[in-house]
């Protein structure tokens, strides 16, 4: 259990009630709803939804397949572009991607086609007698993939498809990355993340080695020597610091640590409950944290952000989820001081009110205090520098702390590719990570085959 | 409100909405409910000789649209499966109780004079307002030499019609089958036989679908199927054309027409009336929604007539007939060009791909800086086919605008490009 929150009580509700607070936020469509919804699709040409999908799924085609009762065909279309189409259907912010672009989202139409739910319907209901993709003849090439998150899994699957042998090195005990450890429980319920991993690995030719952490018991130099090519899908393992005194005080925790604990918990009644809590941040992780604490039974959840609602990373849809769960969104306030009780535990936080002055965020001089049993940081993730400590890894060009890649996901070190959150592309969605993995695999494959021809 | 009452082939009715001879008019219970709901008339489900017909189970199947809306129904039900005596008794009572409503009796007996001579006085004695000759039933009965088997032979149509006019004083409506090549021949035959009116269309031979698991067409009777008769909104275009063909045929000029085929709304009815009908019959829409639909049909038709300044059906009945002509009389110089309302366009690209792949490459797709597309008509390439307008999901987004090319009216008969051109 989370040590820094050991002093907190547990949720008051029983296990059954708590479990009911963490079922699907957006319930799946049944067969009738899926057919009804699919009939709303206009089967656009050069469809705006496809252009808006980072993984370039042929959305009109898969929806037409659903309409024609060809669920397997629909799922195949989705998975051939995005092997993690099942989790993306659940976690994608469709309101700013495909569904925002949907022509039925036009002001003169009623509402966008529910593309995300239709995608989920197709992937959930497809029944393949065997893995739907067949591997090409063995190439004899071996490729190392670091990180079994969405980017690494997508990369490994595509490489295996092309006939390469892949070894995935994963630091944690389970594969799946943020799908397993980092997404709000009500968005990705039960063991879906693991079932999806099993499905991806079904293709064959992929070995996953757990407990392998770059910079700990693994170095890029070794991988570079032992494998024909390397893909880095490291994610961003470290949470940003507030830069305030007492950052290690009991009661202060990274939201990602708590969410990981919650997702892995078999018994929600044993989780620490912060009756009054503060969540710092403005992204989807902040919302996920705040809403989940509210659903565990917290009486008072304040989400505090130093700028305005329109600047928040969380979409309007996410903000609505927070409001619907009685989370108070407080803007224009930044942490000034962590307030501790006699035992040195968090008892609240003092904030400075902020405003914009000539485009710069400044303090107004006014402050206020909020009482809290716990404060959760969701102010962003950062690179775990230990991961890239060896001499070869240090040669990787960086942009800020991220690894620089080009449009083919190549790093500055030949043969080393990278994708997902750890790269300089500034994209942080699961679906973008999947696309990076896929594109990197294609680039690696093309390069390896070119090298082979030349040899 | 406009007056919806009619006198059709001598039969009075408070409105032109009649229920067609079919399961909804099988017995007194249904017919009384229909009258209570406000239907202007009913054609009682076809009577035949005793012993009564026997029906199978199941009987209907449907052609569905993508949202399970019923486009058409196929049925294999035969004529009444109740005795002649029961039907005649009920008809007598119902007519007595509902004197202001039209009650027509549909008939089908073997193509023998004696059979008709026997049944006609019995029907007349009920007090019914008229008879309708079922020469159209396309399933089951033709195998026994009745229904469409009669309707498909103009000589039989004429002969039986004449028998009916001889042995019965009631108005005779001849119901025509669409399962022929030229419906005018059947209508002319009925006219020659002395028919007071024709009604059309009866159902169209059909198989709606096939169960691919069991490899049996629908509807299924055990492990078998048979073709049935197709009706519902999907047949409306076919019915409208056949009505128009008869309405503009000089040889049947003035013959009253009762329109049947996919009528489910006041607008459908108004279209049939505009093409020459004096009354309409409805079946499938009532079978799908119940008798209550007549409320909206009556209300909608009256209000539309008011808006047009029509005080009775006669004011617009047949108004569209004169504008329906042969292809060779169309103005070959007339030209329309598609115009896309960019403010209404939702950017689906359907007009572009339809034109690009299957028509005249007259709509360009222009990629915009923000990744969306703008669709523009290339006027010089547009032939005015209407396909883009049809494929556009937004009503009135694409308009077909008449283009003034300065050319005079010219039909094919007078077009110099026609090798058989009539010198003008």
Residue in B64, B65, B66 to test binding to A, most A beta-carbons within 10 Å: B66
Partner-chain residue, chosen from A39, A45, A106, that has the shortest CB–CB distance to B349: A45
CA distance to partner chain A, nearest, from residue B396 (Å) = 12
- B322 within domain boundaries: no
Same domain for B397 and B284, yes or no, is no
Confidence (pLDDT) at A403: 96
Residues in chain B: 424
Vertex B18 angle, CA B12 and B24, to 5°: 135
Least confident of A92-101, A420-429, B150-159, B169-178: A420-429
Which of chain B's residues have a Cβ under 8 Å away from the Cβ of A106? 346-347
Q: Is A342 in contact with A256 (CB distance < 8 Å)? A: no
Q: Is B373 on the interface with A (CB under 8 A)?
A: yes
Which of chain B's residues have a Cβ under 8 Å away from the Cβ of A63? none
Instruction: Dump strand ranges (E) for A222-359.
Output: 229-232, 238-239, 252-254, 276-281, 300-304, 327-330, 333-340, 346-357
Q: Is B98 in contact with B13 (CB distance < 8 Å)? A: no
Cα B191 to the chain's mean position, in Å? Answer: 20
3-state secondary structure of B84: helix
* Whole-angstrom distance, CA of residue A454 vs CA of residue A452: 5
Same domain for B169 and B35, yes or no, is yes
- Going by C-alpha positions, the residue among B235, B239, B138 that lies closest to residue B179 is B138
What are residue A302's phi and psi, to 5 degrees?
A: -110, 125
Same domain for B285 and B338, yes or no, is no
Q: Is A47 on the interface with B (CB under 8 A)?
A: yes
Measured between its terminal Cα atoms, the distance across chain A in Å is 55
Q: Is A159 in contact with A444 (CB distance < 8 Å)? A: yes
Confidence (pLDDT) at A385: 80
Q: Is A301 in contact with A293 (CB distance < 8 Å)? A: yes
Same domain for B252 and B357, yes or no, is no
Cβ <8 Å between B347 and A48? yes
- Going by C-alpha positions, the residue among A301, A357, A356 that lies closest to residue A329 is A301
CA distance to partner chain B, nearest, from residue A44 (Å) = 5
Q: Is B197 in contact with B260 (CB distance < 8 Å)? A: no
Which of chain A's residues have a Cβ under 8 Å away from the Cβ of B372? 48
A423 DSSP 8-state letter: B
Helix (H) or strand (E) holding B91: helix B84-97
Banded model confidence at residue B424, pLDDT cuts 50, 70, 90: low
Domain end, chosen from B315, B340, B366, is at B315
Partner-chain residue, chosen from A39, A42, A51, that has the shortest CB–CB distance to B348: A42
- For residue B51, whether the previous peptide bond is cis, meaning omega lies within 30 degrees of 0, is yes
Residue of B nearest to A66 (CA): B66
Structure tokens at A153: 């899994």
Relative to beta strand B220-221, strand B224-225 is antiparallel
User: Which residue bears the tokens 């896309």?
Assistant: B340
* Whole-angstrom distance, CA of residue B115 vs CA of residue A89: 70
Domain end, chosen from B315, B337, B362, is at B315
Partner-chain residue, chosen from B67, B344, B373, that has the shortest CB–CB distance to A39: B67
Domains and CATH numbers, chain A: 31-125 (1.10.1060.10), 142-237+383-454 (3.50.50.60), 239-381 (3.50.50.60)
Same domain for B122 and B207, yes or no, is yes
- B197 within domain boundaries: yes
Cβ <8 Å between B371 and A47? no
- B320 within domain boundaries: no
Same domain for B104 and B238, yes or no, is yes
CA distance to partner chain B, nearest, from residue A433 (Å) = 22
HSE, side-chain direction, 13 A CA sphere, residue B290: 5
Which of chain A's residues have a Cβ under 8 Å away from the Cβ of B349? 44-47
Domain end, chosen from B315, B341, B368, is at B315
Edge-to-edge order in the sheet of strand A346-357: A333-340, A346-357, A360-371
Cα B89 to the chain's mean position, in Å? Answer: 31
- B358 within domain boundaries: yes
Structure tokens at A349: 């936080």
- Going by C-alpha positions, the residue among B289, B241, B320 that lies closest to residue B19 is B289
- For residue B201, whether the previous peptide bond is cis, meaning omega lies within 30 degrees of 0, is yes
* Whole-angstrom distance, CA of residue A249 vs CA of residue A238: 18
Cβ <8 Å between A47 and B350? no
Which of chain B's residues have a Cβ under 8 Å away from the Cβ of A35? 67-68
* Whole-angstrom distance, CA of residue B155 vs CA of residue A143: 85
3-state secondary structure of B355: helix
Partner-chain residue, chosen from B68, B373, B393, that has the shortest CB–CB distance to A42: B393
Same domain for B274 and B404, yes or no, is no
Q: Is A83 in contact with A179 (CB distance < 8 Å)? A: no
Report how many domains make up chain B: 2
* Whole-angstrom distance, CA of residue B418 vs CA of residue B96: 63
* Whole-angstrom distance, CA of residue A435 vs CA of residue B71: 43
ipTM of the shown complex: 0.81
- B1 within domain boundaries: no
Measured between its terminal Cα atoms, the distance across chain B in Å is 49
- Going by C-alpha positions, the residue among B365, B386, B385 that lies closest to residue B377 is B365
Q: Is A44 on the interface with B (CB under 8 A)?
A: yes
Q: Is B414 in contact with B422 (CB distance < 8 Å)? A: yes
Residue B332's domain is classified under what CATH number?
3.30.70.20
Average pLDDT, chain B: 96
Q: Is A314 in contact with A413 (CB distance < 8 Å)? A: no
CA distance to partner chain A, nearest, from residue B350 (Å) = 6
Same domain for B106 and B184, yes or no, is yes
Helix (H) or strand (E) holding A376: strand A374-378
Partner-chain residue, chosen from A36, A43, A108, that has the shortest CB–CB distance to B346: A108
* Whole-angstrom distance, CA of residue B144 vs CA of residue B151: 13
Same domain for B371 and B296, yes or no, is no
Same domain for B368 and B268, yes or no, is no
- B423 within domain boundaries: no
Cβ <8 Å between A45 and B352? yes
Residue B255's domain is classified under what CATH number?
3.20.20.70
DSSP letter string, B171-238: -EEEEPPS-SS-HHHHHHHHHHTT-SEEEE---EEE---EETTTTEESSEETTEE--EEEESGGGHHH
Query: What's the mean pLDDT in B110-126?
Result: 97
Query: What's the mean pLDDT in B57-69?
Result: 92
3-state secondary structure of B109: coil
- Average pLDDT per run of 10 along chain A, which is 455 residues long? 87 95 94 94 95 97 94 97 98 96 89 97 96 97 98 98 98 96 94 97 98 95 97 94 94 96 94 97 95 97 96 94 96 97 96 95 96 96 88 94 96 97 91 98 97 85
Partner-chain residue, chosen from A35, A51, A103, that has the shortest CB–CB distance to B348: A103
Rg of the Cα atoms in chain A:
23
Report, as residue numbers or ranges, the catalytic residues of B.
137
- Going by C-alpha positions, the residue among A162, A160, A165, A190 that lies closest to residue A176 is A190
Cβ <8 Å between B349 and A106? no
Helix (H) or strand (E) holding B62: strand B60-64
Least confident of A423-427, B292-296, B313-317, B412-416: A423-427
User: Which residue bears the tokens 């020459």?
Assistant: B276
Query: What's the mean pLDDT in B197-202?
Result: 98
Cβ <8 Å between A108 and B394? yes
- B291 within domain boundaries: yes
Residue in B213, B346, B364, B394 to test binding to A, most A beta-carbons within 10 Å: B346
Q: Is A433 in contact with A151 (CB distance < 8 Å)? A: yes
* Whole-angstrom distance, CA of residue B360 vs CA of residue B409: 25
* Whole-angstrom distance, CA of residue A202 vs CA of residue A425: 30
What's the pLDDT tens digit per position in B389-410? 999 999 999 999 999 999 999 9
A362 DSSP 8-state letter: E
Query: CA–CA distance from A133 to each of A76, A156, A195, B283 (Å)?
Result: 9, 13, 17, 51
Instruction: Dump strand ranges (E) for A171-318.
Output: 206-210, 229-232, 238-239, 252-254, 276-281, 300-304
- Domain residues for the domain of B401 are 328-414
User: Which residue bears the tokens 């008769």?
Assistant: B229
Relative to beta strand A416-418, strand B277-282 is unpaired
Cβ <8 Å between B344 and A42? no
A94 DSSP 8-state letter: G
Q: Is the dihedral of CA A43, A47, A52, A56 positive or negative?
A: positive
Residue in A37, A43, A103 to test binding to B, most B beta-carbons within 10 Å: A103
More confident residue, B7 or B370: B7
Chain A with chain B: Cβ pairs closer than 8 A: 41
Q: Residues of A numbered 55-114 whose beta carbons fall under 8 angstroms of chain B's beta carbons: which are they?
A: 67, 103-104, 106, 108-109
- Going by C-alpha positions, the residue among B363, B367, B353, B366 that lies closest to residue B398 is B363
Cα A356 to the chain's mean position, in Å? Answer: 31
> Using a CB cutoff of 8 Å and minimum separation of 24, what contacts does A393-398 make?
A393/A214, A393/A215, A393/A219, A393/A220, A393/A221, A396/A220, A398/A424
Same domain for B173 and B84, yes or no, is yes
Which of chain A's residues have a Cβ under 8 Å away from the Cβ of B353? 45-46
Cβ <8 Å between A45 and B353? yes
Residue of B nearest to A69 (CA): B66
- B424 within domain boundaries: no
Same domain for B199 and B235, yes or no, is yes
* Whole-angstrom distance, CA of residue B366 vs CA of residue B348: 13
- Going by C-alpha positions, the residue among A86, A93, A88, A98 that lies closest to residue A50 is A98
């Amino acid at each position: 259990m989370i040590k820094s929150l050991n002093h907190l009580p547990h949720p008051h509700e029983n296990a059954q009630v708590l479990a009911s607070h963490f079922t699907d936020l957006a319930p799946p469509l049944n067969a009738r709803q899926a057919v009804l919804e699919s009939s709303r699709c206009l089967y656009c040409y050069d469809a705006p939804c496809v252009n808006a999908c980072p993984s370039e799924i042929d959305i009109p085609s898969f929806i037409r397949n659903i309409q024609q009762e060809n669920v397997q065909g629909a799922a195949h279309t989705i998975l051939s572009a995005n092997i993690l189409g099942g989790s993306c259907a659940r976690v994608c912010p469709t309101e700013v991607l495909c569904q925002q672009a949907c022509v039925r989202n036009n002001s003169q139409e009623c509402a966008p086609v529910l593309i995300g739910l239709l995608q989920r319907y197709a992937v959930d209901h497809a029944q393949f007698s065997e893995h739907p993709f067949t591997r090409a003849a063995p190439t004899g090439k071996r490729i190392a993939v670091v990180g079994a998150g969405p980017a690494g899994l997508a990369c490994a699957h595509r490489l295996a498809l092309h006939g390469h042998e892949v070894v995935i090195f994963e630091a944690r005990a389970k594969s799946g990355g943020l799908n397993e450890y980092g997404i709000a429980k009500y968005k990705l319920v039960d063991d879906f993340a693991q079932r999806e991993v099993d499905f991806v690995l079904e293709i064959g030719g992929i070995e996953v080695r757990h407990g392998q952490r770059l910079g700990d018991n693994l170095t890029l130099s070794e991988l570079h020597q032992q494998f024909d090519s390397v893909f880095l899908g490291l994610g961003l393992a470290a949470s940003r610091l507030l830069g305030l005194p007492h950052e290690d005080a009991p009661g202060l925790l990274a939201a990602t640590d708590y969410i990981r604990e919650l997702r892995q918990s078999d018994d929600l009644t044993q989780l620490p409950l912060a009756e009054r809590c503060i969540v710092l941040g403005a992204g989807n992780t902040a919302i996920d944290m705040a809403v989940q604490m509210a659903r565990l039974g917290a009486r008072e959840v304040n989400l505090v952000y130093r700028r305005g609602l329109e600047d928040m990373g969380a979409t309007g849809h996410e903000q609505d989820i927070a409001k619907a769960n009685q989370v108070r969104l407080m803007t224009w306030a930044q942490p000034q001081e962590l307030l501790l009780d006699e035992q040195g535990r968090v008892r609240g936080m003092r904030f400075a009110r902020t405003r914009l002055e000539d485009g710069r965020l400044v303090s107004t001089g006014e402050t206020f205090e909020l009482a809290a049993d716990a404060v959760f940081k969701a102010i962003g993730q950062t690179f775990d520098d230990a991961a890239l400590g060896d001499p070869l890894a240090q040669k990787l060009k960086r942009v800020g702390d991220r690894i620089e890649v080009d449009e083919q996901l190549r790093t500055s070190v030949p043969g080393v590719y990278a994708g997902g959150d750890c790269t300089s592309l500034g994209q942080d969605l699961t679906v973008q990570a999947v696309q990076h993995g896929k594109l990197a695999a294609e680039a690696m494959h093309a390069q390896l085959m070119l090298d082979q021809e030349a040899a | 409100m406009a007056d919806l009452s009619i006198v059709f082939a001598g039969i009075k009715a408070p409105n032109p909405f009649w229920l067609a001879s079919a399961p909804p008019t099988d017995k007194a219970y249904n017919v009384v409910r229909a009258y209570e709901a406000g239907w202007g008339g009913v054609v009682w489900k076809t009577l035949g000789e005793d012993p009564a017909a026997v029906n199978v189970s199941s009987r209907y199947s449907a052609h569905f649209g993508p949202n399970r809306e019923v486009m058409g129904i196929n049925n294999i039900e035969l004529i009444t499966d109740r005795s002649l005596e029961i039907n005649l008794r009920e008809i007598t009572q119902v007519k007595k109780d509902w004197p202001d409503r039209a009650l027509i009796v549909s008939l089908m007996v073997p193509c023998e004079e004696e059979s008709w001579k026997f049944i006609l006085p019995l029907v007349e004695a009920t007090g019914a307002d008229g008879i309708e000759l079922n020469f159209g039933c396309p399933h089951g009965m033709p195998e026994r030499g009745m229904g469409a088997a009669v309707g498909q032979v103009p000589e039989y149509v004429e002969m039986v019609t004449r028998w009916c006019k001889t042995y019965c004083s009631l108005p005779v409506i001849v119901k025509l089958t669409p399962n022929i090549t030229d419906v005018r021949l059947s209508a002319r035959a009925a006219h020659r036989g002395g028919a007071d009116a024709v009604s059309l269309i009866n159902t169209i031979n059909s198989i709606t679908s096939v169960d691919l698991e069991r490899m049996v067409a629908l509807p299924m009777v055990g492990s078998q199927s048979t073709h049935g008769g197709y009706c519902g909104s999907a047949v409306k275009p076919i019915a409208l054309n056949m009505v128009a063909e008869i309405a503009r045929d000089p040889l049947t000029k003035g013959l009253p027409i009762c329109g049947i085929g996919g009528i489910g709304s006041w607008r459908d009815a108004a279209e049939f009336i505009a093409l020459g009908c004096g009354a309409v019959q409805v079946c499938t829409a009532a079978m799908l929604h119940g008798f209550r639909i007549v409320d909206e049909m009556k209300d909608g038709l009256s209000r539309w007539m008011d808006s047009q300044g029509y005080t009775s059906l006669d004011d617009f009945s047949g108004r569209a007939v004169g504008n329906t002509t042969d292809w060779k009389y169309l103005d070959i110089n007339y030209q329309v060009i598609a115009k896309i309302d960019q403010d209404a366009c939702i950017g689906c690209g359907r007009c572009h791909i339809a034109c690009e792949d299957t028509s005249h490459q007259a709509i360009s797709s222009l990629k915009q800086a923000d990744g969306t597309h703008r669709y523009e008509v290339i006027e010089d390439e547009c032939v005015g086919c209407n396909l883009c307008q049809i494929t556009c999901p937004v009503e009135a987004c694409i308009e077909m605008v008449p283009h003034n090319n300065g050319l005079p009216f010219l039909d094919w008969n007078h077009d110099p490009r026609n090798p058989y051109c009539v010198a003008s």
